[in-house]
Structure 1
């Protein structure tokens, strides 16, 4: 991955051993590349069971840098990949890669430094290396934060607002902490992804601070600790980075001596552009200067607060002689002005596509009942009920066949009294939806067709968000669901999409679609076709028996497939043509008459799952395409044809894919293309929980 805009950031870091510790068990590591910067801080556990925690912390920061860099190198340039895919890969894959890399390095460490029997030996070899870990990945386009265990990541905005970007862990109490050494450590990471806006300068931090918990524990309150971050930003602006770099270690030593007694490690990552802009303002107004012959004052201390108040009271005082805080002081300070965002509670933030699918709750201002039987309802047709419905209304339809075309223009819910016993049967389109939000529940929709309208969908989606829940959808026209305008958004949950004359879904013009727990079957050509920068998420769904492809992803489109099965297709399970990106996780492509996965001028990552029982090739890649396969089981019994074909300047990377044997005639690669095979990926150990 390359980000063409180099961020203007600076790094200052320091670490001190705790006043009550013999050894510093913290670790830190930073890395700056032209396209990104990586920060990592770790705190080895201090109890007797963690005899090698200092080594564990050092291996943790190294593994974090290496693991995230590995993922970045798998990505195409930022301009060639969707926001959705960048977020998903980092949010879901980075904890797994970091833990895998850390365990591998720990095992290497044990080989070179075997445990002493009876001393630091443990039934679970990773436990003695227990540590926490904080990371930040910063580019000019986004920032990705992750954390396991205690410690703090603070962000200070340009106007001095302080907040914690990573949610807290509600499972922890007092000094409890999660650990990189636990059995399921990859599930204990909390993480946050934030896009930076060129139009909103406030979205870019002025300062990011990573600190082990010894720093926070040196203060009596969260507010006091938060003020340290603003103090440091002010010192960066007023005295400059060299001043802070020169004195940071001494400030941390003062904090542990008078505060927690614990090891303290801090990495400061400051935005030079915002810093320089602010310093110009300070220069014109007259900045606060610390006299050269005076002992530097620790940020957040009582002395620092007295000094700041004195400067504010008298602009004419050229210098003020201050004494450092007395040994009895515990780095306290008075309530000065600052902005504070409380710690968030909950799991990691994992938004996938650009913008969330947010369900609008009906206002319940009106419930309109429709029935074809006299006396049961307010109306005898759904069309009539729509005419009288207002925003937030719910229309409940009794069982029956309704031969009508529905135009939905308001935010409403249409619900079957008995699921799938309300039949909407009419010439296509049966439903045209242009409302900002609409929800259809339990309807069976069947589009009828004649020669003049065969290209019309049974369901036409306009520029809004539409949800179909527990519906049965079919059509005798060429299309069951289609987008009629740009920027459509849709959710299909527990629906059956079947017996389409040609195509199940055709989504184009920046359409976004989420499919969950649905069944697609017996559609004439292809179950889903995406084109023109559209995006599809599919979870826990089955795509069976199609006359051509299972899923076709066109130019500049994105696909995310999780726990899905695509089977019994006449040509290709998944066909990628000039797509922007695709990620397949734990999905199955099987029983295809030709190819499981085909990529032309596209990109795809496959993690887990199976590709099996294809009549021709398991995977076909050509024309400047890239493919990454990790832990994929590939079954290919046709010895006369290779399982993997890589042609015309394409690249395929395979890691721990069975039954790949680099010495076997298993794949074909032409001149100019490359296939890289690695079979020694480290699986997660099967061990008992701590």
Structure 2
């Protein structure tokens, strides 16, 4: 009997230490069926005094992506001919990003007209949009198709059936400093990266989708450390299931935030397989793991290597925090949209 697949989902967000407000937002919706697409999204408002309404902008971004995701999923529902996939590919790559950006900018402008700031309701539109600046990462999964979009920083991390970790939307070149693409740019849709992945064999589809704001990846000294985190997270999920780690995730994100100084948000979906005679999706795997040795920590520094007496000391990967500034942070994120 072939195994049945259930998507376990989780969304957690932790405010950065020393920050007055969490600028991150996100959503996880759906089951992954043709009638109810699995939709994940995270949005990161730029923060700092230059973007005082970026938390509102991030909220609009996440909510609009869910709406667009449902519309996109409806095009793949029962009764839709398979030949539409080529048309949907063009829609996903060009039309959906433009509609999403335009709708976001319209919603932001209407919000400003209802609740203007000191600049007044008739302030220049481009200046108003900038106040709400936000990035966005979103993914949709239905039987036979996985599609994802990204504007600005943040990460989409995928673990395949063989345990391979990949970042399909990683930019070819890292963005400079704190500059990032943003929904507030006039033609932001031109900067959206798109991943299109047909899944003709459901058994070879992703086992884990993880979307995170850059507060998580910035907490690691290298890309390899971030990849190892995802591999460790998947290892625990495969053994324990989501209920077995749900209470630990906020602690892991808080630890990451302590290192990055930024809001840290994670949205994930884990494909948990079970046989007909196995436990149902509501079973708590901690029952069977009670007497089992603890798995390796998904987050945290690797064990120190044996010291080499002939080696010269290397500088620390992270600077010591400034005693005058909590946790070494100086601002509320200070991302800047790419001009």
Same fold by TM-score greater than 0.5: yes
Contact 2:143 2:199 survives alignment (8 Å): yes
Q: Alignment RMSD, CA only? A: 3.4
* 1:267 and 2:267 aligned: yes
Q: How does 1:175-186 map to 2 (within 5 A)?
A: 175-186=178-189
Contact 2:257 2:264 survives alignment (8 Å): yes
**1:221 alignment partner in structure 2:** 222
Contact 1:28 1:58 survives alignment (8 Å): yes
Shift of 1:195: 0.8
The verdict on how the C-alpha distance between 1:91 and 1:116 changes in structure 2, with shifts beyond 3 A counting, is same
**1:62 alignment partner in structure 2:** 63
Contact 1:149 1:179 survives alignment (8 Å): yes
**1:106 alignment partner in structure 2:** 108
**1:92 alignment partner in structure 2:** 94
Deviations 1:405-436 (A, max 9, x none): xxxxxxxxxxxxxxxxxxxxxxxxxxxxxxxx
Q: Distance in 2 between the 1:50 and 1:277 partners?
A: 54
SS in 2 for 1:86: helix
Q: Distance in 2 between the 1:214 and 1:63 partners?
A: 22
**1:201 alignment partner in structure 2:** 203
**1:9 alignment partner in structure 2:** 7
Segments of structure 2 that go 5 or more residues without pairing to the other structure are 280-284, 304-315, 319-337
* 1:300 and 2:302 aligned: no
**2:164 alignment partner in structure 1:** 161
**2:244 alignment partner in structure 1:** 243
| TM-score, with length taken from structure 2 | 0.77
Q: Which runs of 4+ in 1 moved over 3 A?
A: 71-79, 274-279, 286-291
Shift of 1:201: 3.1
Q: How does 1:299-378 map to 2 (within 5 A)?
A: 299-302=298-301
**2:253 alignment partner in structure 1:** 252
SS in 1 for 2:185: coil
Shift of 1:122: 5.6
Contact 2:149 2:193 survives alignment (8 Å): yes
Q: Distance in 2 between the 1:276 and 1:109 partners?
A: 51
The verdict on how the C-alpha distance between 1:80 and 1:21 changes in structure 2, with shifts beyond 3 A counting, is same
**2:232 alignment partner in structure 1:** 231
SS in 2 for 1:80: coil
Aligned counterpart for 1:147 among listed residues 147, 150, 155 = 150
SS in 2 for 1:27: strand
The verdict on how the C-alpha distance between 1:205 and 1:171 changes in structure 2, with shifts beyond 3 A counting, is closer
SS in 2 for 1:87: helix
Shift of 1:137: 0.4
- Aligned pairs, how many? 294
Shift of 1:278: 12
Contact 1:206 1:274 survives alignment (8 Å): no
* Higher relative helix content: 2
SS in 2 for 1:134: strand
**1:47 alignment partner in structure 2:** 48
**1:137 alignment partner in structure 2:** 140
Shift of 1:290: 5.4
Shift of 1:39: 0.8
User: Which structure is richer in relative contact order (CA contacts within 8 A, separation 6 or more)?
Assistant: 2
Q: Over alpha carbons, which structure has the higher Rg?
A: 1
Q: How does 1:494-573 map to 2 (within 5 A)?
A: none
Q: Distance in 1 between the 2:185 and 2:230 partners?
A: 31
The verdict on how the C-alpha distance between 1:18 and 1:289 changes in structure 2, with shifts beyond 3 A counting, is farther
Contact 1:238 1:289 survives alignment (8 Å): no
SS in 2 for 1:28: strand
Contact 1:122 1:128 survives alignment (8 Å): no
The verdict on how the C-alpha distance between 1:276 and 1:207 changes in structure 2, with shifts beyond 3 A counting, is farther
Q: Distance in 2 between the 1:167 and 1:110 partners?
A: 33
SS in 1 for 2:195: strand
Contact 1:135 1:147 survives alignment (8 Å): yes
Q: How does 1:394-405 map to 2 (within 5 A)?
A: none
Shift of 1:76: 6.2
The verdict on how the C-alpha distance between 1:43 and 1:274 changes in structure 2, with shifts beyond 3 A counting, is farther
Segments of structure 1 that go 5 or more residues without pairing to the other structure are 1-5, 307-327, 331-688
